Copies of this chain bind each other. A is one copy, B any other.
Amino acid sequence: MRPKDQTKYNAIINSSLELVKELGFTGISISKIAKQANISPATIYIHFKNKEDLFTKLYTKIRTNMSNGALQGIHEKMDMEQIFKSIWINSFSYNLNHPDYLIYREKFEKTPMMENIKQEDFELYIYVENLFQRGIKKHIFKDLPIPLLISFAFVPIITLLNFHFEGVINMDENYIAEACEIAWNALNH
């Protein structure tokens, strides 16, 4: 992409994020996004087939970024606890620094567009599923269905972030570490 096109592309992405936050998916049109981005609707159609294509690609981009953020610095020599805690803290910090992404993700996942998304396309999903399978096999983790374990080990990240953004708790480094410890203990025998 030429620098000028990249600037316009970024304006489309940022305007979409802002408008979804403000109006939700049902209230948005390509023309509203174009207006907000200060470009012509035709420019949007150079990059995206339609509204659904734009929203879906933006979701995929956000999930890929979250995935890369969460897996940063993970290497083979770490043990299971180090890997789990690194992913946990990375995920928390990445989302803490990108509140717009989290809002977009949560809203998108309530729409029928979600039917076109394959979880297996995201490295983090594969990695975590694998980690849990190994943990269960090695009798380090409880032998329970992975979604049950994830409900206690990872989903609270979303709850805690929402509480943080609403001002209910201030998730400082100390509380993040304590919460990560609870999540780790939830998995263990």
Give 1 or 0 for each of A138-165: 1 = CB within 8 Å of chain B CB. 0000101101100110011001100100
**Complex: how many Å from CA A95 to CA B179?**
26
The answer to whether A185 has its CB under 8 Å from any CB of chain B is yes
CB-contacts of A120-146 with B (<8 A): 142, 144-145
Contact: B159 with A155, CB < 8 Å?
yes
> Which applies to chain A's interface (DSSP): helix, strand, loop or mixed?
helix
The answer to whether A11 has its CB under 8 Å from any CB of chain B is no
Contact: B152 with A182, CB < 8 Å?
yes
Contact: B175 with A147, CB < 8 Å?
no
A144 nearest CB neighbor, chain B only: B178
Of B145, B156, B169, the contact of A152 (CB 8 Å cutoff): B156
Of B142, B144, B155, B175, the contact of A144 (CB 8 Å cutoff): B175
**Which 7 A-B pairs have CB atoms at the shortest separation, nearest pair first?**
A151-B159, A151-B156, A155-B159, A145-B169, A182-B186, A147-B168, A147-B169
- Chosen A-B contacts, 19 in total, with CB atoms closer than 8 Å, are A142-B178, A144-B178, A147-B163, A147-B168, A147-B169, A148-B160, A148-B163, A148-B169, A148-B178, A148-B179, A151-B156, A151-B179, A152-B152, A152-B179, A152-B186, A155-B156, A155-B159, A156-B156, A185-B186
